[in-house]
Chain A
Amino acid sequence: MAHLAVSDVRAKYGTLEVLKGVTFSIGKGEIATLVGPSGSGKSTVLRALMGLTPVTGGTVEIAGERMNYSSAREVRAARDRMAIVFQQYNLFQNMTVMQNLTLAPLKIKKWDKQQVNSEARRLLGLVGLSDKADAYSDQLSGGQQQRVALARALALKPQILLLDEVTSALDPELVNEVLDAIRKLADEGMTMVIVSHEMAFVREIADKVVFMDAGQIVEAGTPKEILDTPKTERARDFFSKILRH
């Protein structure tokens, strides 16, 4: 059974339909990557899943459970099951690293303080930032901030992790430290949907590659199928441009 099943999902910004019926699914522990040109709707898929962009049609199921986005409560139910990491990290700048990680588990979920703190320390170890627990975000490099954002998302124990171009804002030499952290998560069996332009990374980590253009899925398949032998002209054109260098 699919762990995440997205079926004919539609979304609009005003009158502009940015998702024109998107359908894909992944199993537990699998990793799907969304690729495609800018403006194709990749990020919007993740934002719609998190209820940041209003969903105007279609269905989303997580572990067989239907998610609705029609009320604030139902949106929160979706946010309980998924977590997102943004391109620009979006850390709370007035808080330390540790406070960023523990705020939601302590204040919103009201989980046990001792467990939250020890879990937060474990996650900081996982992303290699054990020594930065008391630093503020403006004292960290972009790569470090992004790893904090990753740990913060994980602190809520999501069933599915969404990563929205998490390395696009980083200096090239900082990209690998973030990718390494994602690799570790993959090894732990985390189910992930990743929007990325790092094609080598996509090829290495993805179970499924979904190529999008103009708010629709053009084709989907294994990394080998999509990256090496794309069937559609649109995908061939896109990959020939970006894989050349």
Chain B
Amino acid sequence: MNYRFQFGVVWDNFPLLLEGALLTFQLGCFAFAGGALIGLVCATLKTYAPWPLRVLVDCYVVFITNTPALIQIYFLYFGLPELGFRWSNEACLLIGLTLNAGAYLTLILRAGFLSVRVSEIEAGQTLGMSLIQQVRYIIVPHIAKSIYPAVANFFIVILVMGTSVGALIGVDELTGQAINLSAVNYRWLEYLTVVAGMYVVLTFIASIGLALLGRWAFRVKARIF
């Protein structure tokens, strides 16, 4: 084996990789926030709404969770322009990831709704709480705590796996940036090694942040490793 590692060229372009990492982080956060909102609305509908709306939510969830994210994003980027809907590659990625996250978070939040203990609701009722007060003081805090680990894990999934799909439609997030730079001077091994390390660091930072947030806000005993 006489391959000679040359990391110098990677360091020269490191600022570009950092830009990619920042874009990855932003895309992950926005897709997650949007998805959480969709998930909250859909899980509420699934729990309390009349059956036509529940079926609609089911269709959305089944359609999204049973197709690859790549197909969904290609559909937005390559498919819809044929019908006259043309968005930038970053917009397509963000919309696709958000819809994708929304479906998975609907499932996670729904599980949270089902896990609220009837006894706590009854205690709230007998203390004179209205339905809205029960939701605000009992149901939401309970859901937040019980599903926090699953939601936090899912954030990492979007951050790492979700956003990297962007490379295939020319978004210069971390993976895309790595592919672009490698293609210039064929230092694939060096670039991909460094980028893999950057993903680990990014995930590590996000995990610590989420664990601290969970402990502080919801008393979740989250593990960092």
How many interface contacts (CB-CB < 8 Å) are there between A and B?
A: 57
Known: A103-B137, A107-B133, A107-B137. A90 touches B127 (CB 8 A): no
- A103 in contact with B127 (CB, 8 Å): yes
Q: Are B119 and A88 in contact (CB under 8 A)?
A: yes
B145 at the interface (CB under 8 A from A): yes
Q: Is the CB of A104 within 8 A of B122?
A: no
Tell me the dominant secondary structure on chain B's binding face: helix
**Is the beta-carbon distance between B126 and A52 smaller than 8 angstroms?**
yes
Q: Which of B124, B128, B141 contacts A76 (CB 8 A)?
A: B128
Residues in A whose Cβ lies below 8 Å from that of B122: 52, 86, 90
- A83 at the B interface (CB under 8 A): yes
**A94 adjacent to chain B (CB < 8 Å):** yes
- Report yes or no: B120 in contact with A80, Cβ–Cβ below 8 A: no
Q: Is the CB of A86 within 8 A of B119?
A: yes
Name the residue in B124, B126, B130, B141 with the highest tally of chain A Cβ atoms < 10 Å from its Cβ: B126
Determine whether the beta carbon of B142 is less than 8 Å from that of A83: no
Residues of B within 8 A of A108 (CB): 127-129, 133
CB of B123 within 8 Å of the partner chain: yes
* A79: contacting residue among B126, B137, B145, B218, CB under 8 A: B126
Beta-carbon contact of B126 and A84 below 8 Å: yes
**Cβ B219 vs Cβ A79 within 8 A:** no
**Which residues of B lie under 8 Å from residue A107 when comparing CB positions?**
133, 137
The reply to whether A92 and B219 contact each other, CB–CB distance below 8 Å, is: no
User: Is B193 in the interface zone, CB < 8 Å from A?
Assistant: no
The answer, yes or no, to whether A50 is at the interface (CB within 8 Å) is yes
Residues of chain B contacted by A86 (CB below 8 angstroms): 119, 122-123
Residues 124-156 of B at the A interface (beta carbon under 8 Å) = 124-130, 133, 137-138, 141-142, 145
**CA A88 – CA B123 in complex, angstroms?**
10
Asked if B125 and A94 make an inter-chain contact with CB atoms under 8 angstroms apart, the answer reads no
Q: Assess whether B119 is in contact with A90, with CB atoms less than 8 Å apart.
A: yes
Q: Which of B120, B128, B130, B137 contacts A93 (CB 8 A)?
A: B120
- Bound together, the chains give a CA A142 to CA B214 distance in angstroms of 27
| Chain A window 61-84, contacts with chain B (Cβ cutoff 8 Å), 1 for yes, 0 for no | 000000000001000100110011
Q: Verify A90–B123 contact, CB threshold 8 A.
A: yes
13 CB-based A-B contacts, threshold 8 Å: A50-B125, A52-B125, A76-B128, A79-B128, A88-B119, A90-B120, A90-B123, A91-B120, A92-B120, A92-B137, A93-B120, A95-B141, A156-B128
Chain B interface (Cβ < 8 Å from any Cβ of A): 117, 119-120, 122-130, 133, 137-138, 141-142, 145, 218-219
Add 19 more A-B contacts to A79-B126, A92-B123 (CB < 8 A). A50-B125, A50-B126, A52-B122, A76-B128, A79-B128, A83-B126, A83-B127, A88-B119, A90-B119, A91-B123, A94-B142, A94-B145, A103-B137, A104-B127, A104-B128, A107-B133, A108-B127, A108-B128, A152-B127
